[in-house]
Structure formats: structure tokens, C-alpha cells
Amino acid sequence: MFMLQPRSSWAQNRGDLLASGVEVIDDYHYSNAFSNNRNFRVFLPPSYRKDSEKRYPVIYFFHGWAQRYFGSMGSGYSDYDFGDDNDGDNIEKFVSENDVIIVKVDGLNQFKVEPINLSPYNVSLVSTFRQFPEYFKEFVGYIDAHYRTIPDRTHRGISGLSMGGFMTFWLSAKLPDWVSAAGNFCGSSEFSAGPLDFPVRYAHADMYDNFKAISMRMHNGNSDRLRFYHEDMNRYLMNAVPHYQFKQYEASHITCGMGDMFAFMMQAFKTPLPLPEKWDYIDIYPYFEVWDYKVETSRNRSGYTILENVDKEGFNLAVRNFLPDGELMPNVEVQVVTAPIYKVNTEYKVTDIDLRTKESRQYSVQSDASGRLKLTLNGSAHQIGIANSQDSPNLSMTSFKIENMDWAESGQVVELSMKVLNKGFSTSENIIAEISAISEGLDIVSAQGKINGLASLEEKQVNGIFKVRNNRKGYDIAKFQVDFTDDSGASWQEEFEILFKDQVDRITNFVIADGKEFTIVKEAVDSVSMVVGVGNGDGIANPGETIVLLVEEGGKYLRTDAYTTNKYINPGNVSIRIADPWQNYDHIGGSVKYTMPVLDSETPEGEEIPFYVEYWTPGPISGQHIIHKGIVNVQVKGEDKTAPQVQWVQVLNDDRIEARVYDGASVGEVMLTLSPNEEKSTLKHVNWDETPSSFSIELKDDGLGADVVKGDGVYSARISGQPTYFYDLSFELRDSSGSIGKHKAEETIFLKETRWR
């Protein structure tokens, strides 16, 4: 091993020339995104100084936990730069034999006044506002400007180890228009990531459609303690991303098969995947740019903006609080500025169908001088059609339903019905719908259905039942394509996914938590006593209650992820899922999820609801978790005596208060009392004229005044004429059946005085 010379001794940005001919440079640049100097290490191939005209593809490498761009902080768990590192299978070795530049990124993401944080990149524990995706784009620009790179996405890849492996898949999903290849060594499958104030539990398995144009590969070791999480992730990616490659080595948590991985990426540079004609994309940030589209939302809570089937003729859009089927967020405003793919200064017709409310509108919009369209929507589920002066139909699938079972079961013939919408401006006649398989292991037993015709804005069910079978047990998802053709010769294509469940036995050792205290398992091996669920606590599922299905093992109770398609579960756009992180137990980053199903107050007496439940227990090997699965049947009895519940509350910049309120019945009244908090209002150098009085306001969900969207479960009011102060919040709530409840918010809010209202 050699020691690099300090930067001041280098001439003309030259570093150390190794015996292999590889030149290694440790350098820095100033980052506007991070507002400080950033370090990096560059490996240049032997030909770089010999041929001053030649340009090179670039692989950006992200190090792991407790490492920096120069190597490990202490005794390294994986050294892979040069010499004998990684048994000779290292960066120097590959660069010495291939015309490629490899750049090691520094993951340090903190200010100097803060204690050293061994977790890089601001993932796992989101602790700063400085976001690595924005820095990466800036860094790429710097490298392209200062080194002879081939400055396009098809010659740019990313790779990394452990937390750097997480970054590899995260950044490639976040920036598919910036990189074309991703090579992940032993990376975590899930971490917290995103904005400082509202990060999400981010899992690569949810983001499969972002990878359509990314050549992606993962390596792990057969003794890597993360391998069990990789197995979970692969049950999605191996089926939903046909070009995804995975290889396991006789190794632990290291850069196993580094030369193989980089060779894969070099081949991807030579033969990049084609760009999809229709693209899909999901992002966790309120603002993002992708494929030259710009999307801005007013969201200031955790969530995902989802774009599907994007092309010149339109797109689908939704904002949800989690994936794949979390609550829609209609109260969020969304602004979409398209790529410059339209005729300049030209009028286009737009169709907007809200699938949640079934409301539709058609309007005209003018493209700008660059050929972009600007559309304003909300966070509900939208189907958008775009057409020029020549009217034409535009067909799109809106939903499918499983007809012969409670959920899609692997190994069985699943019967599907499908609904189709015409979001165009003219009628489509004699439509044929045909499905085909994208994932492996699928049988299409019955592929076709028909629709006589669809007028503009009309939605119909396809005549005929589609029949499919998934023969690959142990895989949680399968991907299909549906093609629509009509008698004019026009055609449309879309992809869709079905979540499959393996055949499992019934679970009998369960209890229904509906507002009773239990000792429950927390963070794998810890426990806590707390009230679980919402209701009368009698252990019987009553209409209107919010329940948690608990499995009893050894006197302790485990919360479950309970899935059902029953129509009496989760009325009114509610869907509650909570993560229980195992970070402190296995130090990997995964979390077990549990759900809180809400029972409709109109659930018939004696209705038996089947749930497919999953829960985790630790395994005997480090990092192992055993996923238990089974069926639980819940019988609903009694009457709705449960009051509405407040899920969250927030104050917005325009002096509005919003509260998410849900109930098994319709909510009748939401009254909010704001009480001054004198203790929290004691601020140095700030004097208040006087302590204000408490006051009460009614929050409404009528779509009028301060409320953005009617019937979305978000109750709002605008406050004016009240003095600036800190206030505690307490609610009194009443539902349509007369049940009354109270709720005290945990947080204290700051209210600013508005003089002009």
C-alpha cells in the first residue's frame, strides 16, 4: 500500500502514478448544493495522459458505512482501491485494463461543528437538509467539466458497497435520466430517506418501474448478514424488472466480484437499454425533474408522487402516503410542466378524470414558446389525456378486479375483470383488449376481451374475463401488458402488476386489538405495553373500530400486516400502515410494517372478513428474519360506537389548519380549540403584549373557503385576527351516528398574526 501525496505537491492536477499505469488523484471542489468543499478520488486509466483527445465513460463509486472516499475510518471491513485490496480484484486492477474513469464520492454529509456521523449520505437517519441527489447532479457536472468524460447518461454509471449499494439503487431510481447502469454490492434494501422534515421509509422493491432504462445488477455474499433482506427485495425485482441481474458469491459483506460488476457496467455502456416509449416514475421529494418534466407539489408530509404511462398523449398521476396502496393526498396541489415535446404556442385539449371522485373536466391549454404545457392538478388519482386540434380517442385501463378469490393466489387460475376509460375526445369502436406476460412463470389462460365502443370520458368494463396463473411461488409480484386496439387501427399499450400471495394455512392464535392495552413486540426483541387499536376494547370487531390483528407467541403479541380486498375495510380513502424499524437490532435498516384496518360502520352483522397477514420474528442467524404468513378470518358484530380519529394536523403558510380525520361512518363535526401555551412561549428577547385567550373554530371538509378538496378526509379552516403565539390543540369530534370523541394533539403549533384579514 502506498500513501498519496498531499494535494499541494501535485502539478497540473496530477496525482500518483501507480506501477500499473493507473493515476490516482485526491481532489476537491466547491459545492453550491452543500455550501462547502467536497473531496473525491479519481482513478484514471493508463491511456488518459497518453491520448489527450480520448474520452471515457465514468463509474461513480459510493463507499459504505464508517468509510470515506479515501477508505475506511479504522480497520476496514472492505478495502477495494488498489494493490492487494480485495484479493487483487479492485478498482486499480479494473482501471488498469479498461478505458474507464472511476470516481469515488465522499459520503460525509454534515457540518464541521457536528460530531462525526459514521452513516454517510444522509440516509438511514435523515439528519440534515442537504440532499445527496442534488449534490450528485452538481458533482457530475464538475467531473464532466474537468475530466475527459463522455458526458451523457449512456456512458455514466454508479456503483457502491453497503450503504453505498443502497445509494446505487436509490440514485439510479431517482435519476434514471442521468445514469444508465447501476451495480450494487451488498446494499441495504430499505432506509429512511428524503426531506429532513418528512422523510419516508424507502424500499427499492417499491420502485421497480423507475428502473426500466437502467441496466442493474446486484452482488452479495453467501455469508452477508444482509442477504435475507436481499431475498425479500428480489421477490419483487426479479419478476418486475426483467433485465435485473443478481449473483451471489462465496463471500461476506464485501465488494465481491468487483471486476465482474464493472465488466457488466462497461457492457451496459456499449449496449444501453432503450428508453421506454411510455415511462413511469415515483419520487419522494415535493419537487423533482425527470426526463425533462418538472413536477412541483405543495406536499409537506411524507409521501410519494407517482407518474405512470407518460407520453405525448398524457399520463396518470397520484400522490400517496405510502406504496403501493397508501392513502391518496387530494389536498396537495400538483403542478406539472411537460418536456418541450409539443408544437410551440399551440392550443391543446386536456382531459382530466379523477378516479377517486369520478369527476371529469376538459379544458384547453396553450403551449409556451419552447413547446411545454403547464398543468395544475391535485394529489388524487388522475388520468390525463392530451390532444391537439385533431380529435382522437385515448384508451387507458383504470382498474382490474379479482373475481374468483379474495386475493391473487400463486399456482391458481386467477380470473380478472378490467375497466377501461376513453380519456380522448372522440369515440373508439370495436375495441379488443389483450393481455400478455412480462414476468417469467406466467400462464395466460384467457387473454382477450372486447368493448363495443367507448365515447369520450366513458368508462366501461371489458366484456369477458381474463384468466392468468402465476407458477413462480415465492414471488410477490407479476408484471403484465395490456394492448387495446380498435377498428380504426389505433392501438394503446400499458403495463400493470398483480400482487400474488402464496397458499398459506389459517392462523388461530390471534386476537383483535380494538382499544385495549397489550404487551407487544417492538424492534424485533424489545417490548412495550400500550393501547393498541381504537374501539371499546372487548376484542370483538365492531363496525367503526380501527383494529390491529395480533398474533400471540410466548405471552407477547406481534402486530401484523393485514391485507384484504373486502369492501367494508378502510372506507373514505383511509389506509394506515406503520413501520417498526429493526435498525437497533440488526443494524441493517429494514422495518416490519403493520396495518390498522378501519371497519366501515355499514358492515353487516356477522360479515366474515378474510385477511392475509404477515409478521416477522428474528431468525437464529445474524440479520435473519423469518416472515410468517397466514389467513385470519374476522367476524364483525355489534354497532358502531367509535368516535372519529385525528390522524395528523398541520399549519400551512396561508394561515390554514388542516387535520386528517377518519371514521367508519361519515364525520359530522370537527371542532378545534387552540389554547395558549405560556411555557413554550417563553422566548429570550421576545416579549408578548399579553397572553391571548383560547378560541375555537370548526374545521370542514366541504371544498369551500379554506378547504381544498371536498370529501377527502382533510378538514380545514383559515385563522385570522388571532395574535401571534404558541398554541396547544384539542379536538372534539362527532360522527353521523352520534359518537363523540376528544383528541389532544401531541405537538404545539406556532400561529402568526394576519393583520389584513
Sign of the Cα torsion 419, 424, 430, 436 reads negative
Domain positions in the chain:
7-270, 279-387, 395-501, 510-635, 645-751
3 has a pLDDT exceeding 60: no
Region 60-73: what's the mean pLDDT?
Answer: 92
Domain 645-751, classified CATH 3.40.980.10, yes or no: no
Which residues does 189 contact at the CB level (< 8 Å), separation at least 6? 166, 203, 204, 205, 226, 229, 230, 232, 233, 589, 590
Mean pLDDT of 577-588: 93
Please tell me whether the overall predicted TM-score, pTM, comes out greater than 0.75 for this model.
yes
Q: How much is the pLDDT for 14?
A: 60
Q: Which residues contact 106 (CB under 8 A, 6 or more apart)?
A: 38, 39, 40, 68, 69
Average pLDDT over residues 334-353: 97
From residue 477, give the alpha-carbon distance in Å to each of 235, 290, 409, 555: 7, 26, 11, 34
- pLDDT for the residue numbered 757: 47
CB atoms within 10 A of CB 17: 13
pLDDT of residue 755: 58
CA-wise closest residue to 234 among 255, 205, 254, 213: 205
Residue 228 pLDDT greater than 80, yes or no: yes
CA angle 146, 147, 148 (to 5 degrees): 130
What ranges make up the beta strands (E) of 423-525?
428-437, 442-446, 448-454, 459-461, 466-470, 477-485, 491-501, 510-513, 516-522
Over residues 668-677, the mean pLDDT reads 96
Q: Say if residues 109 and 120 touch (Cβ distance below 8 Å).
A: yes
Residue range 102-118, pLDDT digits in tens: 999 999 988 778 778 88
As a whole number of angstroms, the distance between CA 355 and CA 357 comes to 6
Q: Give residue 685's pLDDT.
A: 79
- What is the average pLDDT score of the chain? 94
Asked if the model's pLDDT at residue 10 lies above 80, the reply is: no
Within 10 angstroms of residue 656's Cβ, the number of other Cβ atoms is 18
The predicted pLDDT at position 2 comes to: 37
Local confidence band at 288 (pLDDT 50, 70, 90 cut-offs): very high
User: pLDDT per residue over 610-626, tens digit each?
Assistant: 999 999 999 999 889 99
* Portion of the chain with pLDDT greater than 70, in percent: 98
Residue 707 has pLDDT above 80, yes or no: yes
Q: Determine the distance from the C-alpha atom of residue 301 to the mean position of all C-alpha atoms in its chain, rounded to a whole number.
A: 13
Tens of pLDDT, residues 640-667? 999 999 999 999 877 889 999 999 999 9
- pLDDT at res. 487: 94
Topology classification of domain 395-501: Immunoglobulin-like (2.60.40)
Q: Is the confidence at residue 5, as pLDDT, over 60?
A: no
Domains 7-270 and 645-751 share a fold: no
C-alpha cell at 502: 402464496
Q: Which segment of 73-77, 122-126, 237-241 scores lowest on mean pLDDT?
A: 73-77
The H or E element containing residue 376 is: strand 374-379
Residue 56 DSSP symbol = B
| 300-309, 330-339, 431-440, 716-725: the lowest-pLDDT one | 716-725
Mean pLDDT confidence for 15-27:
94
Average pLDDT over residues 494-523: 96
User: Which is it for the CA torsion 265, 266, 269, 270, positive or negative?
Assistant: negative
Residue 40 is placed in which grid cell?
Answer: 473525491
DSSP state of 7: G
pLDDT band at residue 689 under the 50/70/90 scheme: confident
CATH no. of 7-270: 3.40.50.1820
CB 676, CB 692: distance < 8 Å: yes
